[in-house]
Structure 1
């Protein structure tokens, strides 16, 4: 007899997402407890989720062929089986129904949808749980605004729900009206959030959900039109603006990080460091970046001067040259390396510092090579709000924050900027990593396009398997940047 698959996957349109098939799997002793906590099994992604409906009903009468019998047994609800099936017989009591479900699960081979290889039961349940959380959060988002054409395919995948196609608007007024008519929230790229939009949304009763690039984003720059493989979806605010709370700040301030999560974060951090992965790259060791001094080496990471994170978290400081001057005053005996921002170097953004001006305070300008290899050579990093400071923490470097980035205020950095009272909790490094890289962002597998855990994207980047689907545009974008820089 062919047994039905209790561990079904949502019907993602972009790839085969099956996580189970014919075969056998080893079940842990707490298999049913894992399913109950994750609330996966059956068509959990549907609007009328069987887990919620059964809890509301409090009992079930159904055929033993109905997988809801297994869900009700996990929930401990009274069940009446009307006809025999793989999930139960009419004479079965609750313990017997649970045993039948375990038999169904043991007769299912778990599959990794990203590789097609065998997966463990625990990994499979965790992946289904991730998909459940993301789809549930996506249901309140009914429209989007400010998503560039070259990343819309990825945005629709990040915000996917099975019964509708996400409507993406270009006009703020139409976007708010569309979201209001549909009775849900509007997802907005933060650069498109204006006071007028906030007022209009508030007046219409439309919630705003901010969507921004994640922290391990892609191989290649967004300014070169490389779509993101990671984003954050924040319903409270956005991580780079310390003026108000964000989902990330809430996670870091309130989560009780269990040992299994921090151990996972430690493994992820070690993989990122070992393979030289940073936000935009996975770089091999670069011999050109070797230090040749016994002095303390301090890296100053420049930023785009009109970037939202600089304007929101810089405490009024935006100038890369002024940041350099301040670092020299604080580190008079150090050898200071200045790293221009790649978007500025590419000619797309504001913040260029003439070499002669930079070398009044810096000993060396390091524009080439990967950030990971550069961080391996320095002792300390000074930043305004740059993600470089977080990447330096991953590698055990000292970090001084002149502004208020999301990783400041948790006891791991020297903070010169004003830190909100909402922070102040002391975190271990891998607790910070768990919040920042596992619990807060979302990821897409660049090979299948499926939502994935961070380990999948990091693994693809480490093996150079994170190709850009719009790679043909990159040379044109670089040429445009050079022309723009030349015309200034």
Structure 2
């Protein structure tokens, strides 16, 4: 006898036991069945999507099929006595009978397949109640459903695929393609656009595309060093850093109503990020930094990768030098200006170095080693182009002047110098933006279990210890860092 709920077999997952036999617990069966129907979980809920017959029975109900579309179409359900799928039919509000004529005992089925088990949170190992287990299965079902129509996944480097695959899994596979796949009209394609070939780009003209980018809490280590992402963004409307069209994140911020429980969760997540000293690529120490400029106002200016799409897509200054000039002019001669080069630029992988003479004329200090979170905590204010560091500064209560148009500009939280689109008319609290940007928009992967997880789990993992890379990945990182040092020496 197996429990009705299970963890989907996400590629590469190392899932612990979700259910262990336990003492049957008293619970309202109707409440539990309503929760199953609301989240559409139970059985092989990640399985193939099939059209169902009006009369559903064991012969036309494949074991590897998602039960819910079949139940949507069914007018009646006939199953062998004690079949756990009878519970799903009852949850769907369908008339159910057993083939041997035995009456359907709802309470006995609930005890056998739901309340007669102890449910464990796979991330912490803690015992959770049955409603929490159902909600967790619903959490896993949502991205699977969102991925159902993906026919091809393009532009993903091989070192990135192990952590991306579970987050783009459609219940059957993750269809990575190295070439130009044969696509039917209307096929959905997920792309890492900056890595597409010319032939792939041409093949996608006029087709529906999901843009995939790194999430805002990504990893401990750089993508340019081939450290794989632990969170991604999947957006069918646009990309969050391009203000020329609304992205899914902008639409969330413009149109959503954020309930109090979501805002409370956002506030707690923000506190955990700050306590962990986390930024997009780093886990910084919590020890405060000394103020090199003494009592002078400290202005932090984070550089960016100048050929990154976040800079070249429009609405941002084209160079770090121009950003530093504007920051110095606005801050004034009495301010202590700290410039922090982007880590990818500093590592020698990407474009964006400022000549030493210009740096010395405009910045009082160039910081290359201190973690971003610690620098933000020490600074009095930030000037940014479109860097995520500006948002990370808002989390920590710092004033931010924005010279480009990142996703967090235009909502009343920043001093905006860039051309913010007039369509951004809503005024948002910090926790509303945190809820959209961290809780609702990205997808996250737990580095320990390999399962999609809530952001709180990844924050806890990154705060506790940096994920361990496998030996092959560590070798790639070492090679990439050596290559970057050579590029810097050659001035490339």
Same fold (TM over 0.5): yes
Question: Cα–Cα, structure 1 residues 259 and 26, in superposed 2: closer, same or farther, change >3 Å?
Answer: farther
Paired residue secondary structure (1:224)? coil
Please state how far the C-alpha of 1:288 moved relative to its aligned partner.
5.2
Report the counterpart of residue 326 of structure 2 in structure 1: 326
Paired residue secondary structure (1:479)? helix
| 1:188-199 equivalences in 2 (<5 Å) | 188-192=191-195
Please state how far the C-alpha of 1:90 moved relative to its aligned partner.
1.3
CA distance in 1, matches of 2:95, 2:123: 38
Cα deviation 1:440-487 (Å, max 9, x = unaligned):
111111122222111121111111141233122222211111111111
Report the counterpart of residue 464 of structure 1 in structure 2: 465
1:60 paired residue among 69, 77, 84: 77
Cα deviation 1:406-444 (Å, max 9, x = unaligned):
111222222221222332212221221111112111111
Question: Cα–Cα, structure 1 residues 17 and 312, in superposed 2: closer, same or farther, change >3 Å?
Answer: farther
Cα deviation 1:204-259 (Å, max 9, x = unaligned):
xx321111111111110011111111111111111111111222222222332222
Please state how far the C-alpha of 1:28 moved relative to its aligned partner.
7.7
Question: Cα–Cα, structure 1 residues 28 and 248, in superposed 2: closer, same or farther, change >3 Å?
Answer: farther
Which runs of 4 or more aligned residues in structure 1 lie more than 6 Å from their structure 2 counterparts after TM superposition? 25-29
Report the counterpart of residue 157 of structure 2 in structure 1: 148
CA distance in 2, matches of 1:209, 1:138: 10
| 1:383-462 equivalences in 2 (<5 Å) | 383-462=384-463
The range that moved more, 144-153 or 249-258, is 249-258
Q: Which runs of 5+ in 1 are unaligned?
A: none
The range that moved more, 276-285 or 189-198, is 189-198
Q: Calculate the TM-score normalised by the size of structure 2.
A: 0.88
**C-alpha contact (below 8 Å) 2:18/2:119 kept by paired residues:** yes
**C-alpha contact (below 8 Å) 2:33/2:88 kept by paired residues:** no
Q: Which runs of 5+ in 2 are unaligned?
A: 50-65
Root-mean-square deviation (CA, aligned residues, Å) is 2.5
Question: Cα–Cα, structure 1 residues 252 and 98, in superposed 2: closer, same or farther, change >3 Å?
Answer: farther
Q: Calculate the TM-score normalised by the size of structure 1.
A: 0.89
The range that moved more, 39-48 or 63-72, is 63-72
| 1:91-130 equivalences in 2 (<5 Å) | 97=106, 100-101=109-110, 104-130=113-139
CA distance in 1, matches of 2:433, 2:108: 40
Kindly indicate whether residue 29 of structure 2 is the aligned counterpart of residue 20 of structure 1: no
| 1:167-186 equivalences in 2 (<5 Å) | 167-169=176-178, 171=179, 174-175=180-181, 178-180=182-184, 184-186=187-189
The range that moved more, 219-228 or 143-152, is 143-152
CA distance in 1, matches of 2:27, 2:436: 27
Report the counterpart of residue 259 of structure 1 in structure 2: 260
Report the counterpart of residue 274 of structure 1 in structure 2: 275
Report the counterpart of residue 350 of structure 2 in structure 1: 349
**C-alpha contact (below 8 Å) 1:276/1:373 kept by paired residues:** yes
**C-alpha contact (below 8 Å) 1:39/1:51 kept by paired residues:** yes
Question: Cα–Cα, structure 1 residues 438 and 27, in superposed 2: closer, same or farther, change >3 Å?
Answer: farther
**C-alpha contact (below 8 Å) 2:242/2:310 kept by paired residues:** yes
Please state how far the C-alpha of 1:147 moved relative to its aligned partner.
0.9
Cα deviation 1:375-406 (Å, max 9, x = unaligned):
11012111111010111111111111111101
Report the counterpart of residue 89 of structure 2 in structure 1: 72
Report the counterpart of residue 103 of structure 2 in structure 1: 90
Question: Cα–Cα, structure 1 residues 358 and 337, in superposed 2: closer, same or farther, change >3 Å?
Answer: same
The range that moved more, 421-430 or 142-151, is 421-430
Report the counterpart of residue 232 of structure 2 in structure 1: 231
Cα deviation 1:148-170 (Å, max 9, x = unaligned):
1211222222212343352322x
Please state how far the C-alpha of 1:78 moved relative to its aligned partner.
3.3
CA distance in 2, matches of 1:256, 1:24: 41
**C-alpha contact (below 8 Å) 1:219/1:467 kept by paired residues:** no
CA distance in 2, matches of 1:28, 1:395: 43
Paired residue secondary structure (2:421)? coil
Question: Cα–Cα, structure 1 residues 412 and 24, in superposed 2: closer, same or farther, change >3 Å?
Answer: farther
Aligned residue pairs, count: 469
Paired residue secondary structure (2:362)? coil
CA distance in 1, matches of 2:16, 2:146: 20
CA distance in 2, matches of 1:31, 1:399: 47
Cα deviation 1:258-301 (Å, max 9, x = unaligned):
22222222211111100101111111135655455223222111
Paired residue secondary structure (2:476)? helix
Question: Cα–Cα, structure 1 residues 19 and 27, in superposed 2: closer, same or farther, change >3 Å?
Answer: farther
